[in-house]
Structure 1
Amino acid sequence: MKSLNKDELQIAEGVLLKHMPKCAKVYGYLYGINRNKPTTLEVVVDSWPDFKVIICRPDPKNRRALEFMKKVTYYCMDEQVLRKMLTEENAIDWSTYFLIGGFDFSHSSMLKEVSAVREVNNRGYTLVHLLYLPDSSSLITPAVDSELESRISSLNLSHVDLVNKTWKFGGNERALKNITNLISNFPSCCITDGQGQPLAWILVYDYCAMGLLYTLPEHRGKGYAKVLISTMSKRLHAEGYPVYCFIEEENTLSYSLFKSLGFTENPSYRAGWFEFNY
């Protein structure tokens, strides 16, 4: 097992690009790290340069890592190699609570077996669709009049409390720090009222997926979400970001919305989130 340095992270990003979109979450983390976005992660591989498994995990040498939820993600081209890393090479710290997110759900049985051997409890957190926009020509753009266009803006730090209060995983100090980081360092888009206050918004997570899409209840039904997704997608493509999102299985409204704008998926693929030591 090897921890990647700055030059190797650049090479790994190029390798993963050929495996999009299934590696999207790891690719997104690497994309941010390689453009000097703040990170608390360490990236390890089974071997170098021909790796079969790449894992993003909390960096034990980074003190700020303690401020955030302990999150792990990986991309795997060989399940047996991944099993070996998890069982024999301590690729993950199994001693405390952590979440593995965005993994290929076909690995769920193996993850359960490995955690059972280590006597660590686990449970499925959520199952999601991975929706991807490979290029901007696939995007179906809604019509936007000049008045609405003049109200499209970006979020700033004065909006952190509003986003935290309305986010379903928000309302706490840890989420507040997370949202502050996202607004400070990643693209965002909002539609404002006449006083410049956000009525609807979308952010980009630190793994570059679009998320936290929200419209205040009294302003729904006006097509704001379509405008936000379309505007953000164009911006991300123009700046070289991957353009994708994870939609929870039960969220049929958001799934239909992204599909209607040209996002595609592999119908046989699902991504999962598991939590351990909960």
Structure 2
Amino acid sequence: MKVLNKDELQIAEAVLLKHIPKSLKVYGFLHGINRNKATILEVLVDRWPDFNVIICRPDPKNKRAQEFMKKVTYYSTDEEALRTVLTEENAFDWRTYFIVGGFDFSHSSMLKEVSSYREVNNRVFTLVHLLYLPDISQLLTPAIDSELESRISSLNHSHVDLVNKTWKFGGNKQSFKNIQHLIDNFPSCCITDEEGQPVSWILVYDYCAMGMLYTLPEHRGKGYAKVLVSTIAKRLHTEGYPVYCFIEEENVVSYKLFKNQGFIEDPSYRAAWFEFNF
């Protein structure tokens, strides 16, 4: 496999743009890397320039990679090419725990076969809907009065602990560092109370998807989530980011929220996260 250099990453991003929405997670990673966002990843392809498989994985030369959970993602237009890469080459480090996230769920049988061949156990971590907004004019924007508008701002370092404690996948040192990294490098949005403390917020992951949308229980039912989704979506569009999110299949409330605000999905496509060596 070939590790892409700076110029090749620019070319690969343009190629992946043509394969949206299925390529969105890898595209999002490259979008951030190509705009000088801090990263611990390296990007590989099965061949160049006409690649069938592109993989984002922790860079073994990056010392900071050990501070974060070991996460891998890929996009492939050819399942057999992907099978070959995973079977015959060291595309994944099968020796330790890792998560493959945001991949096409239609590849799940093949991934299970390869992991069995590698004598590595696996399980579904989560299944998700991929919702995206290809046309910003389709975004449905809630009315925002001047008082509420004055309480919309961005998150900062003093808010990391709060977000970490309330995030479904948070509560540990690795997630704390991850959230701090996201707040430092990517857009975020929150609504504060009278004392300036966040009561509702949304972040953007390092693959440029919106996530961690949360409202404190005592502040729910006020439409804050709609305001945050609308606000961050407009900002992302203005700054050239893709506008999309992953919603877990059981999260019916969030799914309806994004659909009602104009987001769409490819009904034939599902994405998934798998754990290996757990």
TM range (shorter): over 0.9
1: CA distance, partners of 2:166 / 2:124? 24
Alignment of 1:124-163 (within 5 A): 124-163=124-163
Partner of 2:208: 208
Partner of 2:166: 166
Q: What amino acid is aligned across from residue 194 of structure 1 in structure 2?
A: E
Q: What amino acid is aligned across from residue 42 of structure 1 in structure 2?
A: E
Contact 1:133 1:244 in 2 (8 A): yes
Q: Deviation digits for residues 196-243 of structure 1, max 9, x if unmatched?
A: 111100000011000000001000000000000000000000000000
Partner of 2:229: 229
2: CA distance, partners of 1:68 / 1:183? 15
Match status 1:250 vs 2:276: no
Partner of 1:187: 187
Partner of 1:54: 54
Partner of 1:273: 273
Partner of 1:121: 121
2: CA distance, partners of 1:259 / 1:115? 35
Q: Deviation digits for residues 37-91 of structure 1, max 9, x if unmatched?
A: 1111110001111111100011111111111111000000000110011000111
Partner of 2:23: 23
Shift of 1:171: 1.2
2: CA distance, partners of 1:189 / 1:199? 11
Alignment of 1:5-20 (within 5 A): 5-20=5-20
Contact 1:135 1:237 in 2 (8 A): no
Q: Quote the sequence identity (%).
A: 79
**Runs ≥4 residues deviating over 2 A:** none
Partner of 2:259: 259
Match of 1:182, SS state, is helix
Match status 1:45 vs 2:45: yes
Match of 1:126, SS state, is strand
Partner of 1:102: 102
1: CA distance, partners of 2:52 / 2:244? 23
2: CA distance, partners of 1:248 / 1:137? 26
Shift of 1:170: 1.1
Q: TM-score if structure 2 supplies the norm length? A: 0.99
Unaligned runs of 5+ in 2: none
Partner of 2:198: 198
2: CA distance, partners of 1:119 / 1:48? 30
Q: What amino acid is aligned across from residue 274 of structure 1 in structure 2?
A: F
Q: TM-score if structure 1 supplies the norm length? A: 0.99
1: CA distance, partners of 2:18 / 2:98? 29
2: CA distance, partners of 1:91 / 1:219? 45
Shift of 1:135: 2.0
* Number of residue pairs matched by the alignment: 278
Unaligned runs of 5+ in 1: none
Q: What amino acid is aligned across from residue 266 of structure 1 in structure 2?
A: D
2: CA distance, partners of 1:179 / 1:191? 18
